[in-house]
Amino acid sequence: HGQFYDLLNIFDLNGVPSESNPYLFNGDFVDRGSFSLEVALTLFCYKLVHPKGCYMTRGNHESRTCNAMYGFEGEVNAKYDQSVMALFCEVFNL
């Protein structure tokens, strides 16, 4: 739920995602925390760099309704703009 420093602590304790150290993230990466955008972007980067080391499923918070209700949309709009939010909605619906 957007807890970026908790994510970094997990990586510090267990190592970063890689083919030899795979992770499965079971959704709800965003909302509630102040750094949801950073969590999502970090996970996307690991997925791009290590596609067989970072697996992600979509949770109910990766939806337009929850994003509007629980704060992710506001965070993205404050840090970027609505066009970036539209891209997140598109990615979350893949």
- The mean per-residue pLDDT over the stretch 8-28 comes to 96
Q: Which residues lie below 8 Å from residue 20, measured CB to CB, with a gap of 6+?
A: 53
User: Of the listed 17, 61, 62, 66, which one is catalytic?
Assistant: 61
Active-site residue, 61 included: yes
**Kind of pairing, strands 54-57 and 23-26?**
parallel
pLDDT at 15: 98
The position carrying tokens 């997140």 is 88
pLDDT at 8: 97
pTM attached to this predicted model: 0.90
> Above pLDDT 70, what percent of the chain?
100
**Inter-helix orientation angle 82-92/72-79, to 10°:** 140
What would the pLDDT profile of 29-69 be if each residue is shown by its tens digit? 898 888 999 999 999 999 999 999 999 999 888 988 999 99
DSSP H or E segment with residue 84: helix 82-92
pLDDT at 39: 95
Average pLDDT score over the chain:
93
Q: Which residues lie below 8 Å from residue 53, measured CB to CB, with a gap of 6+?
A: 17, 18, 19, 20, 21, 22, 23, 46
